[in-house]
Structure 1
Amino acid sequence: MMHLSSLQVCTAVLTLALAAAVPASTPHHVARRSFFNLQCKGVFDAAIFARLDRICDDCYTLFREPQLYSLCRSNCFTTPYFKGCMESLCLMDEEEELDQLIDFIGKR
């Protein structure tokens, strides 16, 4: 039986996520509407919103759970599902930075 280190697992997960990546082509007005639908009350920044949304999209791609994308994004990326997706995608070393981005757009 083969045992993988956590670094190997993270590398494999990121490789899969990047292989499935499609350039973001969401029009600006759709992203802005989505921003307000998620109860974000901070400053709308398309680049920040796209970065956070991409985490949820990659997480959905990884697990293929129909509700995961919505749960990850709900309450402006502040649910435990978003943190779970960060962990699954090996992004916990970016947690402080991502929390600052969420604070900026979400005004928690």
Structure 2
Amino acid sequence: MHLSSLQLACAALAALALSAAAAPPAQTQHHVARRSFFNLQCKGVYDAAIFARLDRICDDCYTLFREPQLYSLCRKDCFTTDYFKGCVEVLRETDQLELFKTYIKQLHGADPGI
């Protein structure tokens, strides 16, 4: 059974429409991250890119150890715990630590002390 070019075009459009409907809107992801920013007791200036970069450290650390509490402890108090620093070390990103401290200071609103 061969499909005509019109049938193929319709099938492609239907697949595209379904994938667009299933994908969460970018705005929703932004609101979730912003809510997480406040839940972590961050009192500084919210920056989505910076928040995502620091959160990725904790996510990668969780992926490495598969310990759910580690993810929460890494993010606790707006990334200012020793767990965050430990994750940076384990992930071998210590060369970025000063940059991360600057990021944390912006998000946390004070010197991170890590």
Tell me the TM-score normalised to structure 1 length: 0.75
Instruction: Give, as a single letter, the amino acid of the residue that structure 2 aligns with 1:37.
Output: N
CA distance in structure 2 between the aligned counterparts of 1:49 and 1:97, rounded to whole angstroms: 13
- Deviation of the 1:66 alpha carbon: 1.6
What is the 5 A alignment of 1:8-87? 27-87=29-89
Which structure features the higher share of helix residues? 2
Deviations 1:26-47 (A, max 9, x none): 7000000000000000000000
Partner of 1:98: 100
Structure 1, gaps ≥5 residues long: 1-24
SS in structure 1 of the partner of residue 92 of structure 2: coil
CA distance in structure 1 between the aligned counterparts of 2:75 and 2:101, rounded to whole angstroms: 14
CA distance in structure 2 between the aligned counterparts of 1:97 and 1:45, rounded to whole angstroms: 14
Deviations 1:33-83 (A, max 9, x none): 000000000000000000000000000000011200000000000000000
- Deviation of the 1:95 alpha carbon: 0.6
Tell me the TM-score normalised to structure 2 length: 0.72
CA distance in structure 2 between the aligned counterparts of 1:68 and 1:27, rounded to whole angstroms: 22
CA distance in structure 2 between the aligned counterparts of 1:65 and 1:33, rounded to whole angstroms: 23
CA distance in structure 2 between the aligned counterparts of 1:87 and 1:77, rounded to whole angstroms: 14
Larger Rg: 2
CA distance in structure 2 between the aligned counterparts of 1:60 and 1:49, rounded to whole angstroms: 17
Moved over 3 A (4+): none
Instruction: Give, as a single letter, the amino acid of the residue that structure 2 aligns with 1:27.
Output: Q
